[in-house]
Amino acid sequence: MGEAVLAIFKRTPIIVGVLIICTISIPVHSAVYVYRASDGSLMLTDHVVKSSEYRLLRKTANVRGAAAIVQRGKRFDRGNPSAYDRLIQQTARAYGVDAALVKAVMHAESAFNPYATSRKGASGLMQLMPATAERYGVDDIYDPVQNVRAGVHYLKELMHLFDNKYHLVVAAYNAGENAVKEYKGVPPYTETRNYVKKVLRFKRRYSKTF
C-alpha cells in the first residue's frame, strides 16, 4: 500500500498550480485518473468520474504514473514539437519506418499532446483507439513510449500492407485499412483526404530535420 494524491490543481498562466484538496490512501498499483474540470482545474482520482463537468485526460496504470504528471508541473494541453524527437527516431528505427512520417502523423493526430483524447475515444500522441492499443499490448494508452511504439508498429504493418505507398498508409491510419481496400485508394471522405494532404505536408517539412 502507498500514499497517493486525490487532488485538484488550479491552472495558473504558466504552470499547473498548488495542491488544494486532500490526501488519501490508494494502493500503489491502483489505476489513477486525471481529469480536467470545466473551469480548467485538474483532478487526480482513483475512480471514474461520470460527469459532463470533467474530461478524462489520462488514465495511468498506477500511482507512479500520476505522480510523474504532478512533478513535471507542465501545461497539459500544449505540446512541444521537438519533445519526442528522440523517442520518434529510436522507435522508427526499430521498426524500419520513416521518422518524418511518424512525426507527421503525431502532429496531425495530437499536436504533440500526450494526453489528447478525441470524442471517438482515440488517445495519446498517436491517437490510438482502445482496440489498437490492446492489439499491441499497451496497458497505459497515455504513456508516450507505449503509445508511440504501438502507433509505429501499426504504421509498419500498413506500410507492408500497402506496398510502402505513403498516401494509402496515411489514409488507412485515418479511415481504416478496410476502407482503403474497399475503395482501392484513398476513400472519398473529406476528412480523410484533408488528413492525407496535411500529414504528407508535415512529412515533407520534417524530412528536412530527420
Which tens digit of pLDDT belongs to each residue from 25-76?
444 456 777 777 776 666 667 778 787 777 787 777 765 555 555 444 444 4
Q: Which of 72, 100, 134 is the last residue of a domain?
A: 72
70 Cβ partners below 8 Å, 6+ apart?
5, 7, 9, 16, 44
- Does 134 share its domain with 173? yes
Q: Which domain covers residue 132, as residue numbers?
A: 85-206
Q: What is the pLDDT of residue 51?
A: 78
Q: Is 96 in the same domain as 126?
A: yes
Is residue 116 in some structural domain? yes
- Helix ranges, 9-143 (H): 63-72, 85-95, 99-110, 130-135
pLDDT tens-digit profile of 133-182? 999 999 888 888 999 999 999 999 999 999 999 999 999 999 999 999 99
Q: What is the pLDDT of residues 96-110, one digit of tens each?
A: 999 999 999 999 999
Same domain, 141 and 200: yes
Instruction: Please report whether residue 77 resides in a domain.
Output: no
**Residue 67 shares a structural domain with residue 90:** no
Indicate which residues carry an active-site annotation. Answer: 109
| 103 and 169 in a common domain | yes
Q: Per-residue pLDDT for 22 more than 50?
A: no
